[in-house]
Structure 1
Amino acid sequence: MTTTPTIACLERDSIDAPFRAPATAHRWVEYPHSAPDEVVARLQGADIAIVNKLRLGAAQIAALPALRMVAVSATGADNVDLAACSAQGIVVSNVRGYAVDTVPEHAMTLILALRRRLLDYVADVRAGRWERSENFCFFDHPIADLAGSTLGVVGYGDLGRGVARLCEAFGMRVLRAEQRGAAQVREGYTAFEQVLAEADVLSLNCPLNASTRGLIGAAELARMKPSAILVNTSRGGLVDEAALAAALRVGRIAGAATDVLSSEPPREGNALLVPDIPNLIVTPHVAWASAQAMQRLADQVIDNIDAFLAGAPRNRLA
Structure 2
Amino acid sequence: MNIVATDGFALNPGDLNWDEINKLGEVTIYDRTSPDEIVPRCSSAEIVLTNKVAFSRETIDHLPKLRLICVLATGYNIIDTIAAAEKGIIVCNVPDYSSSAVAQHTFAFILEFATQVGLHSTSVHNGDWSRCADFSYSLSPLFEISGKTLGLVGFGNIARKVAEVAQAFGMNVLYHTPSPKNITTARYVSIEELFSESDFVSLHLPLKPDNKEFVNMNLISRMKKTAFFINTARGPLVNEQDLADALNSGIIAGAGIDVLSVEPPPPHNPLLSAKNCFITPHNAWMSKEARERIMETTYKNINSFIKNSPINVVS
Distance, in Å, in 1 between the alignment partners of 2:275 and 2:190 is 30
Unmatched segments (≥5 aa) in structure 1: none
Instruction: Give the residue type in structure 1 aligned to 2:7.
Output: E
Distance, in Å, in 2 between the alignment partners of 1:289 and 1:124 is 29
Deviation string for 1:214-238 (max 9, x for gaps)? 1211111101010000111111111
1:289 is aligned to 286
The one of 273, 278, 285 aligned to 2:275: 278
Structure 1 residues 245 and 38, CA gap change in structure 2 (3 angstroms): same
Deviation string for 1:139-176 (max 9, x for gaps)? 33111211111010011000000111101100000001
Distance, in Å, in 2 between the alignment partners of 1:99 and 1:185 is 24
Determine whether 1:11 maps to 2:7: yes
Q: Secondary structure at the match of 2:99?
A: coil
1:80 is aligned to 79
* Identical columns (%): 34
Deviation string for 1:91-138 (max 9, x for gaps)? 000001111211101111111011222332233333333333333222
| Contact 1:117/1:279, CA 8 A, preserved across alignment | no
Structure 1 residues 263 and 208, CA gap change in structure 2 (3 angstroms): same
Taking the TM superposition and a 5 Å limit, the aligned residue runs for 1:58-137 are: 58-137=57-136
Deviation string for 1:68-113 (max 9, x for gaps)? 1100000001111111101111000000111121110111111101
| Contact 1:19/1:299, CA 8 A, preserved across alignment | no
1:174 is aligned to 173
Query: What TM-score do the two structures reach when normalised by structure 2?
Result: 0.93
Taking the TM superposition and a 5 Å limit, the aligned residue runs for 1:1-318 are: 5-16=1-12, 17-22=16-21, 25-179=24-178, 188-267=187-266, 269-274=268-273, 277-318=274-315
| Contact 1:256/1:279, CA 8 A, preserved across alignment | yes
Deviates more, 1:158-167 or 1:204-213: 204-213
Query: What TM-score do the two structures reach when normalised by structure 1?
Result: 0.92
| Contact 1:236/1:260, CA 8 A, preserved across alignment | yes
| Contact 1:23/1:306, CA 8 A, preserved across alignment | no
Unmatched segments (≥5 aa) in structure 2: none
| Contact 2:92/2:301, CA 8 A, preserved across alignment | yes
Distance, in Å, in 2 between the alignment partners of 1:255 and 1:264 is 21
Deviation at 1:269, TM superposition (A): 4.4
Distance, in Å, in 2 between the alignment partners of 1:247 and 1:284 is 22
Count of aligned positions? 308
Q: Secondary structure at the match of 1:79?
A: coil
| Contact 1:153/1:175, CA 8 A, preserved across alignment | yes
Distance, in Å, in 2 between the alignment partners of 1:281 and 1:25 is 42
Distance, in Å, in 2 between the alignment partners of 1:312 and 1:155 is 30
Higher relative contact order (CA 8 A, sep 6+): 1
Distance, in Å, in 2 between the alignment partners of 1:93 and 1:12 is 16
| Contact 1:8/1:49, CA 8 A, preserved across alignment | yes
Deviation at 1:56, TM superposition (A): 0.6
Instruction: Give the residue type in structure 1 aligned to 2:40.
Output: A
Deviation string for 1:37-64 (max 9, x for gaps)? 1111111011000000011101001111
Distance, in Å, in 1 between the alignment partners of 2:18 and 2:293 is 10
Instruction: Give the residue type in structure 1 aligned to 2:310.
Output: P
